């Protein structure tokens, strides 16, 4: 009898499977799982390997000295990095203001008129439509009194721009309902006597006139050329509850492309380059044309070049190799939007700018994993060897799922990479490793919602949402209502919360539940559904995904509450049956590679 341990060093977790092998039979006795220490494929992994192995030994009531052999995975993707490149930006010159969206604007409706300081309104000679400018030194009581007096004197007040947070207070005290936008910090930059449009939507609504280029053209009397030029204004206002557009003699709003740099793709048969600012679809088309890929480099001195070279340099430092010897194996690019501060805005306005998210993955060699095996062998005094390619081991483990058989394809969806493998009836295996997985989804959620908190973004990715509608009930994201006997924490009242392990974590962004859910689901689709289709096409013997009948989903991301459903739904369109694995009938979608490392050793022994 031999006691064998298979250990899978992943990007996020290190998993162990221990089994007894005797008389050509394999009996699994225990498993372990801990967080990976260090970057996958480096010597820092050894601490996590020890912890995972000891956990499994303790469960199986086995002493480490009883082990005959430890097998670790040959980890092809050892490091990944993600970056976000904004490829457009909205710039305001002079005193044009757009897109201000305070949390509590006053009034409702659309107002168009000429700006006038509230202190000068009594001295107005012309009876033209007016937008009142209310600076910080005028409080809401004084402002509402002056506006009421002006309305009584026949002055046509169409709206107000307020520096303080007084919009609702003023609205409650004046005799006419007008749109009021407050919290305009740089109000002194708003010129007097210029034509201005203010729109405030009802609670729950969004602006309709000022988010439409032709709506703006109608209010300001623009010609076709000018209408084309104000498209960035309308685009930046989409989804806002309130908006202000000011037309100054020299004012201008323009959308400018930011040169993010070129990506150079070196394939075995051809070399191509592509500008990041052309968007993700063009980048991925170039990658497909250059497949199989030998290396990917970024243009020196650009954002794209810096991101890709950082990946290369980090890996070079960890492996003690020259940066030129580190090859980037794959890249995933996705189109997204990022909230960016509008340059030249008057109240800290933000606009959703076009951006490209990029994930890169470095190719490793077996030598690096052998160094880890040698180091581990010295530490524990037991023979350690590097097993087969990770995806090949995963498919062996996947075949222990009840009801599975060859031919079979697997999708191993982890934190750093998405791996695919296909085993034919005669047990020939073809595998592929692609950049982009759980970490990239977290980055997209973090940037698109403007959170600046990766831990919060990770929670949004992993757990469902709800809206706290009272201190005794919540509405789940699927519309169902849950009531509570005890009063909820007042801090979560009227907030969007994450339902995490019995706790309610409020999300500190001013977005609706539907918007947050949409960002979460779209991020998962952009990464996992895209990579699932891409990977399966690559491992298919014909290049046609429809030739694959069964797909088993593996890895930590297969435990997600909605990723398997999103992938399964998309694959069903190709006539593919797919679902979450259950390794050895007990482990769920985890432990496939560790199990496969033991099984592949057993196969060798059976053939001897």
Task: Quick: pLDDT tens for 438-474.
Answer: 989 998 999 889 898 999 999 999 999 999 999 999 9
| Residue 104 labeled ligand binder | yes
429 to 17, 290, 406, 425, 426: CA distances (angstroms): 22, 23, 11, 10, 9
C-alpha span between 259 and 598 (Å, rounded): 50
Angle at 159 between CA 153 and CA 165, to 5 degrees: 115
Element (H, E) at 284: helix 280-290
Q: For residue 473, with 0-12 CB atoms within 10 Å meaning exposed, 13-18 middle and 19 or more buried, which class applies?
A: middle
| Residue 417 labeled ligand binder | no
Question: What pLDDT is attached to residue 335?
Answer: 87
C-alpha span between 145 and 169 (Å, rounded): 12
- DSSP letter at 176? S
- Partnered with residue 566 across adjacent β-strands are none
Structural tokens at position 319 = 């492996």
Beta pairing, strands 271-275 & 262-267: antiparallel
| Residue 406 labeled ligand binder | no
| Residue 182 labeled ligand binder | yes
pTM value?
Answer: 0.78
Cα-Cα-Cα-Cα dihedral of 521, 525, 527, 530, to 10°?
Answer: 180
**The CATH number fitting domain 89-256, selected from 2.40.110.10, 3.40.50.300, 3.50.30.70, 3.40.50.1460:** 3.50.30.70
Structural tokens at position 505 = 């974590």
Q: What is the CATH code of the structural domain delimited by 1-75+366-400+590-608?
A: 3.30.420.40
Under 8 Å CB-to-CB from 449, ≥6 apart: which residues?
Answer: 339, 457, 460, 509, 511, 516, 519
**Domains of the chain, residue spans:** 1-75+366-400+590-608, 81-87+258-363, 89-256
Question: What pLDDT is attached to residue 187?
Answer: 78
- Are the CB atoms for 604 and 584 separated by under 8 Å? no
Structural tokens at position 540 = 């298919």
- Are the CB atoms for 433 and 391 separated by under 8 Å? yes
- Torsion over CA: 296, 300, 305, 311 (sign): positive
Low-confidence ranges of the chain (pLDDT < 50): 76-78, 80, 94-95
| Residue 458 labeled ligand binder | yes
Closest by CA position to 434, among listed 45, 62, 80: 80
| Residue 12 labeled ligand binder | yes
Structural tokens at position 284 = 């991925």
Question: What pLDDT is attached to residue 102?
Answer: 75
Q: What is the CATH code of the structural domain delimited by 81-87+258-363?
A: 3.90.470.30
Question: What pLDDT is attached to residue 78?
Answer: 44
540-585 per-position pLDDT tens digit: 988 889 999 999 999 999 999 999 999 999 999 999 999 999 999 9
Question: What pLDDT is attached to residue 504?
Answer: 96
Question: What pLDDT is attached to residue 95?
Answer: 45
- Torsion over CA: 310, 315, 316, 318 (sign): positive
- Are the CB atoms for 355 and 526 separated by under 8 Å? no
| Residue 72 labeled ligand binder | no
- DSSP letter at 304? H
Q: Within a 13 Å sphere around the CA of 408, how many CA atoms are in the beta-carbon half?
A: 24
Three-state helix/strand/coil letters over 110-124? EEEEEEEEHHHHHHC
| Residue 459 labeled ligand binder | yes
- Partnered with residue 341 across adjacent β-strands are 350
Beta pairing, strands 408-413 & 417-423: antiparallel
Structural tokens at position 206 = 């969004």
- DSSP letter at 270? -
Question: What pLDDT is attached to residue 91?
Answer: 59
Question: In the structure, how many helices (H) and strands (E) does the chain have?
Answer: 16, 29
Structural tokens at position 102 = 């305070």
Structural tokens at position 121 = 């309104």
Residue 547's SS3 state is helix
Closest by CA position to 552, among listed 391, 412, 390: 412
Closest by CA position to 260, among listed 325, 361, 338, 315: 338
Residue 70's SS3 state is strand
Within 10 Å of residue 125's Cβ, how many Cβ atoms?
Answer: 5
């Amino acid at each position: 009898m031999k006691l064998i341990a298979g250990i899978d060093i992943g990007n996020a977790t290190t998993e162990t499977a221990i089994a007894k092998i005797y008389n050509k039979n394999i009996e699994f006795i225990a498993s372990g799982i801990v967080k990976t220490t260090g970057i996958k494929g480096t010597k820092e992994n050894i601490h996590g390997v020890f912890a995972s192995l000891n956990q499994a030994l303790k469960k199986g009531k086995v002493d480490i000295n009883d082990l005959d052999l430890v097998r670790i995975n040959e980890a092809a993707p050892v490091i990944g990095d993600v970056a976000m490149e904004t490829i457009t930006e909205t710039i305001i010159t002079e005193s044009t203001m757009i897109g201000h969206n305070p949390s509590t604007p006053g009034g409702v409706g659309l107002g168009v008129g000429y700006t006038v300081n509230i202190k000068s309104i009594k001295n107005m000679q012309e009876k033209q439509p007016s937008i009142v400018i209310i600076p910080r030194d005028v409080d809401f009581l004084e402002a509402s009194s002056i506006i009421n007096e002006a309305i009584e004197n026949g002055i046509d007040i169409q709206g107000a721009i307020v520096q303080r947070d007084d919009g609702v207070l003023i609205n409650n005290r004046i005799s006419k309902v007008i749109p009021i936008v407050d919290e305009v910090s740089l109000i002194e930059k708003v010129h007097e006597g210029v034509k201005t449009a203010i729109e405030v939507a009802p609670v729950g609504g969004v602006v309709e006139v000022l988010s439409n280029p032709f709506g703006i053209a109608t209010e300001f009397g623009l010609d076709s050329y000018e209408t084309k030029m104000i498209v960035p204004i309308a685009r930046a206002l989409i989804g806002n509850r309130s908006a202000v557009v000011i037309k100054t003699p020299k004012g201008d709003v323009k959308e400018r492309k930011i040169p993010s740099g070129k990506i150079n793709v070196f394939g075995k048969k051809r070399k191509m380059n592509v500008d990041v600012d052309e968007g993700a679809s063009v980048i991925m088309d170039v990658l497909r044309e250059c497949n199989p890929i030998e290396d990917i480099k970024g243009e020196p001195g650009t954002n794209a070049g810096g991101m890709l070279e950082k990946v290369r340099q980090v890996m070079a430092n960890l492996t003690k190799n020259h940066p030129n010897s580190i090859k980037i194996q794959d890249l995933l690019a996705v189109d997204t939007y990022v909230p960016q501060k509008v340059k030249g805005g008057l109240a800290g306005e933000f606009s959703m700018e076009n951006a490209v998210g990029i994930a890169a993955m470095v190719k490793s060699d077996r030598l690096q994993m052998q160094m880890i095996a040698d180091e581990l062998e010295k530490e524990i005094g037991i023979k350690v060897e590097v097993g087969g390619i990770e995806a090949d081991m995963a498919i062996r483990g996947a075949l222990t799922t009840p009801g599975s058989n060859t031919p079979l394809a697997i999708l191993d969806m982890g934190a750093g990479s998405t791996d695919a493998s296909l085993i034919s009836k005669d047990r020939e295996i073809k595998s592929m490793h692609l950049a982009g997985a759980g970490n990239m989804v977290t980055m997209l959620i973090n940037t698109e919602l403007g959170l600046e908190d990766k831990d919060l973004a990770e929670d949004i990715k992993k757990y469902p949402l709800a809206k706290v509608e009272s201190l005794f009930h919540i509405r789940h994201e699927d519309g169902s209502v849950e009531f509570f006997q005890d009063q909820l924490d007042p801090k979560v009242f009227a907030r969007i919360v994450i339902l995490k392990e019995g706790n309610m974590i409020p999300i500190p962004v001013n977005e609706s539940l539907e918007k947050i859910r949409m960002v979460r689901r779209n991020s998962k689709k952009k990464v996992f559904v895209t990579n699932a289709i891409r990977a399966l096409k690559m491992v298919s013997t014909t290049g046609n995904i429809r030739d694959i009948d069964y797909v088993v989903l593996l890895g930590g991301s297969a435990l997600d509450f909605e990723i398997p459903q999103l992938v399964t739904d998309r694959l069903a369109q190709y006539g593919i049956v797919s679902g979450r694995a259950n390794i050895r009938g007990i482990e769920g979608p985890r432990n496939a590679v560790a199990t496969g490392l033991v099984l592949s050793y057993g196969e060798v022994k059976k053939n001897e």
